[in-house]
Structure 1
Amino acid sequence: MTERATPIDTTLSAPPTFESLLRTVEEMNTPDGFRAEIIRGKIVVSPWSKLRYVRPTRALRRQLEAEAPDGHIAETSPFLFRFPSAGRAYGPDLFVADEAAFEADGRHADGAALSLVGEFTSVSTKDADRTDKLDVYGLLVPVCLVIDMQGSEITCFSAPSPHGYRSRTTVSFGEPLHVPEPFGCVIDSSGF
């Protein structure tokens, strides 16, 4: 289980609602080192990243903190962001979001608060990171960075639309990557 995402079958007499799935995730006793997300109408439990992901995650977070829009924070804390219209709830590896989203009493932040998400691919999450999550983020989140740890490259998706992201730029680790507004900066990926 350390390398594979594991869906939890929630098959009942009637399909579960998005809200009932969120409640189930809240009540789960997820083992240390694992996280639960709602992907394609199922609760998926997957492991946190390997140790070698710490350095690139911290390097990216530091750079984004300095360029974050006013009132937004860069974090790696294990929070779920809900996308009710898509029936999804994701816990991005790294995110930049409006700090006001964390003043509520709930356990799941609104996906509309995100200005950027960063997903570091692994063997267990790469398919969801490149398909399901990208499709949902592409409707709402201004910038999505997919850091392909197996392929040693980083892709910046931007310009969300009703049909998904309209812009995509990929560079190999070590090359600079332009991140458009609301950041308007260049990421140094040499430490990845």
Structure 2
Amino acid sequence: MSAMAHEPLTQDLDHVLLEGFLALETPEGFRAELIEGEILVTPPPDGYHEHHINVVVKQVIRMSATDMDFSGSRGLTVPRGGLCVRNHVIPDATFAPTELQLLRSAESWMPCEGMAMVAEVTSTKPDRDRTAKRHGYARGGIPLYLLVDREKSDVTLFSDPEAADYRQHVTVPFGKRIDLPEPFSFGLETNDFV
């Protein structure tokens, strides 16, 4: 009975947190995300971080079997483990089939439905990308999550989301090719990450 007595209070606090998060005004170039009940504000990325994302984006746009739209600033609302308020994350790269016109929405925060892949490059808090964001993207049903891990010098492609994680993953060291399945259907070269 005591757990039920605390549920409305927890929901109220979650909604206050969400309202405060959505009202944040961050300095230009900074990103604010709400991940697992914690507000994270990050500074603009460094040049190496942007270089790694650029390598991925150029290849996806040029080589994918399906035309892809890209966003590097669109926020996604992703399910949060067992709690009522959704996470609000901004992937380094979001890809959706052009024919779906999903990224043309006027909304700042949009659902994960229809997204083909998200990509992250690790920065100041790599464990958020490795764990919290991965679980959120899986709960959101995003089919592919590409993680470029600068600290480990490798690239991991997570696939086949189920519940709060991906059932499959493939990791290659920088310099090796990693195959992206449909709708991309090409080998992503990682030589430029070295």
Cα displacement (A) at 1:112:
1.5
Is there any run of 5+ residues in structure 1 with no aligned partner, and where? 1-10
Write out aligned runs for 1:97-176 (5 A). Answer: 97-99=96-98, 100-122=101-123, 124-139=124-139, 140-176=141-177
Greater Cα radius of gyration, structure 1 or 2 = 2
Structure 2 Cα separation of the partners of residues 38 and 98 of structure 1: 26
Instruction: Name the SS of the counterpart of 1:30 in structure 2.
Output: coil
Give the structure-2-normalised TM-score.
0.81
Is there any run of 5+ residues in structure 2 with no aligned partner, and where? 1-8
Structure 2 Cα separation of the partners of residues 84 and 50 of structure 1: 29
Instruction: Name the SS of the counterpart of 1:15 in structure 2.
Output: helix
Instruction: Name the SS of the counterpart of 1:166 in structure 2.
Output: strand
Q: Deviations over 1:124-156 (max 9, x none)?
A: 221111111101112311110110011111001
Cα RMSD after superposing both structures? 2.5
Partner residue of 1:72? 68
Structure 1 Cα separation of the partners of residues 183 and 106 of structure 2: 27
> Which of the two has greater helix per residue?
2
Partner residue of 2:15? 17
Structure 2 Cα separation of the partners of residues 96 and 67 of structure 1: 13
Q: Deviations over 1:53-85 (max 9, x none)?
A: 222211110111134464631232x22111256
Please state if 1:47 is matched with 2:43. yes
Instruction: Name the SS of the counterpart of 2:58 in structure 1.
Output: helix
- How many positions carry a matched residue from both structures? 178
Percent of aligned pairs with the same residue? 27
Cα displacement (A) at 1:102:
3.3
Q: Structure 1 residue runs of 4+, over 6 Å off?
A: none
Q: Is the 8 A contact 1:154 1:172 kept in 2?
A: yes
Partner residue of 1:4? none
The residue type paired with residue 81 of structure 1 is L
